[in-house]
Every structure is written in C-alpha cells, then in structure tokens.
Amino acid sequence: MELHGCVGQMFETELVIHLLKKVTSLERITFDPRARIYLGDGKWMDGFDDPCWFLGGRNLIQEDLRRWDSPTYISLALMFN
C-alpha cells in the first residue's frame, strides 16, 4: 500500500493503524510526501513534495507508529523525497 501526499498529520497515522488492525495480508506500507494525482484512464501525474514532510512530518509519523505495536510481517517505509 502506498500513501502519497503525506505530511505528518495525525489522521494519516490513525488511518494506517486502523488498517493494520483489520488487514490479514499486507507486506508493506509506504508513506510518500509526493502527491500523485489520478488523471483517469489509468494515468497518474506526480505532484510536489510538501515541505511539512521535511520539517518534521516524517518524524511525527515514525514516532506515532513506534508507539503502536505493528505486526512484524509488515514493512513500513518512510520516503525521503
């Protein structure tokens, strides 16, 4: 699963924790600050990096997820750009 346009808001972490409690088959969750916009017909456009991610948003998500005991079979990836 990929989450694009993440900036470190609490609701992003809450959504992931809720999903982790419900899923039975998931290998990886990727948090990516780059927005992706669906144009239709299977086409996507890459957006911009939100500066909030680099000003602490990445760390906020990482800290929130550390407090929660996520399943060991799921890899969490926090993108740098």
- Whether 1 and 19 have beta carbons less than 8 Å apart is answered as yes
SS3 call for 21:
helix
The two structure tokens encoding residue 65: 């997820």
**What mean pLDDT, rounded, does the chain reach?**
77
Nearest to 7 by CA among 67, 74, 61: 61
Domain boundaries along the sequence of the chain: 2-78
Q: Which of 17-21, 36-40, 56-60 has the lowest mean pLDDT?
A: 56-60
Per residue in 24-46, pLDDT (tens digit) is 777 778 888 777 888 899 998 88
- Whether 45 and 36 have beta carbons less than 8 Å apart is answered as yes
Number of residues assigned to the chain: 81
Enter the pTM of the model.
Answer: 0.62
SS3 call for 27:
coil
